[in-house]
Amino acid sequence: MAVAAVLLLFGLVRLPIENSLNAQYRDAFFHGAKLNLGLRQQIGQTAFLAALGGFRALVADGLWIQAHMDWSRTEWGKMLFIFNNVTALQPRNMMFWDMSAWHMAYNASVAALQDTTQPRLALRLKHQHEYFIIGRDLLERGIANNPDRYKLYESLANVLRDKLMDHYNAALQYAAASKFPDSPTYEARFAAYELSYSPGHEREAYNDLVRLYKMGEKEWLPTLFSRLKYLQETLNIPAAQRIKIPEDQLPHPPHPKPQPQPPRQ
């Protein structure tokens, strides 16, 4: 009886301590995994038990290796299924979100376009676009789970820029990434470049590019000059206010014009 009393008393004493520690860990973005019945049905009882027993990283790694093997067999649907489970188990792991989105937006999308079993180009393009959207959605979910790190903002911006041709939103994501103190310096540069491709935002883009230009020679890159030249002409900047563009600094071939944006789903 005395032992039970001591244990219960200790339980009462430590309860607020544990609650407070849990809250502090949640604030520090720890323990983000939600282990629910849906996941239990998808990953199997043993893996679910291991995940509950504190080995969710190992379970996630096992599933990741499985996805890697499925990649070699180009089983994209199965890979997506596994990616959803892996990211549910380890929502704070940037690599899982990043690589999952990359597989979908860059690999599965190309495979869909080159699908020899589908003779209709329109359907192949539709499937390709669906994989772009899956990649984008994975990154958006990743950012919702990891709002405190720049990497996924950058990856999302890359998908928006390279695959969905959504330059304005790409600029916003690069700008969001550039706000993190540990982000690379090119994030701010890319944000300005992408804004320069966004119809209706030429004036802000021009101001950003001029600001970059004034930062010194380190920023005087061929793309900066190319975009400045384009915007100076588009905005009819008076000759006296124009920045002199050295022709030998322009990229060869000239930077391509933006493609029309597909509808955002």
Nearer to other proteins, 214 or 218 (CB): 218
Min dist. Cβ of residue 34 to other proteins (A): 11
Compute the least distance from the CB of residue 125 to other proteins, in Å.
29
Which one, 97 or 230, has the nearer CB to other proteins? 97
Nearer to other proteins, 72 or 236 (CB): 72
Q: Return d(Cα 229, Cα 95) in angstroms, integer.
A: 38
Least CB distance from residue 55 to other proteins, whole Å? 6
**Residue 23: C-alpha distances to residues 13, 18, 142 (Å):** 17, 9, 21
- Least CB distance from residue 163 to other proteins, whole Å? 20
| Cα–Cα nearest to 87, from 37, 144, 11 | 144
Residues that bind other proteins (CB under 8 A): 2-3, 6-8, 10-12, 14-15, 17-19, 21-22, 24-25, 28-32, 49, 52-58, 60-61, 64-65, 68, 90, 92-95, 99, 149, 184
Find the shortest distance in angstroms from Cβ 262 to other proteins: 29
DSSP code string of 59-127: HHHHHHHHHHHHHHTT-HHHHHHHHHHHHHH-TT-HHHHHHHHHIIIIIIHHHHHT-TT---HHHHHHH
Nearer to other proteins, 68 or 126 (CB): 68
* Sign of the alpha-carbon dihedral angle for 143, 147, 149, 150: positive
Nearest to other proteins of 93, 226 (CB atom): 93
Query: In whole angstroms, what is the distance from residue 262 CA to residue 77 CA?
Result: 24
Token couple for 234: 């588009």
